Amino acid sequence: MKSHSLSNRLRLVIALLFLQSGIFGQTANDRVAPITSALRSRDFDKALELLQAALQTSPNNPQLWTLQGLAYSAKGDQRSAIGSYQAALKIAPDYLPALEGAAQLEYEAGSADAVPLLERVLRLHPQDATTHAMLAVLAYKNGDCGVAVNHFSQSEAILASQPAALQEYGACLLKLKQTDKAI
């Protein structure tokens, strides 16, 4: 199940990062504005060039590392993107944009590494339906219908637009002998 298209994810992450940029002071804002502008313009090479310079002067800024992850991801370089998100998370383990970026990539790759990242997102936002849906699909794929049903039930608001996930939810309900709910 794809939770967001790349362009929607790009807009969301840029918005989150821009709003959070005040946390890191005016100097960081001055660096972030041209980077986010390059990302919005889909000039990922320019964004990476700007990020390289910004990270030289602020290597402990999780926002810059996250923006770099976003740029690499948009270019299709998932390995570098994950590395950038991991660098951000080493600095700020609960930095939501980095957690969501890393979790999304690991999920799309079908990696078991997505689960702990998604669980960390849920600790910060327990009601996030998309995260519950992603964990449900991963649990279903691992044959853990008990966990899958729990997460599916907490993501029902978005399941209507995901026929494959609805089918998986129903299959797990049947496996757990919850026929009425499955129907």
Listing DSSP states for the chain in one string gives: ---S-HHHHHHHHHHHHHHHGGGGHHHHHHHHHHHHHHHHTT-HHHHHHHHHHHHHH-TT-HHHHHHHHHHHHHHT-HHHHHHHHHHHHHH-TT-HHHHHHHHHHHHHTT-TTHHHHHHHHHHH-TT-HHHHHHHHHHHHHTT-HHHHHHHHHTTHHHHTT-HHHHHHHHHHHHHTT-HHHH-
- Does the structure show a pLDDT above 60 at 151? yes
Query: pLDDT category, 157, cuts 50, 70, 90?
Result: confident
Structural domains of the chain sorted by starting position, each given as residue range(s) with its CATH number in brackets: 1-113 (1.25.40.10), 127-183 (no CATH)
Query: Which tops the pLDDT comparison, 21 or 34?
Result: 34
Give the global pTM.
Answer: 0.79
Query: pLDDT category, 29, cuts 50, 70, 90?
Result: low
Euclidean distance between CA atoms 148 and 17, whole angstroms: 31
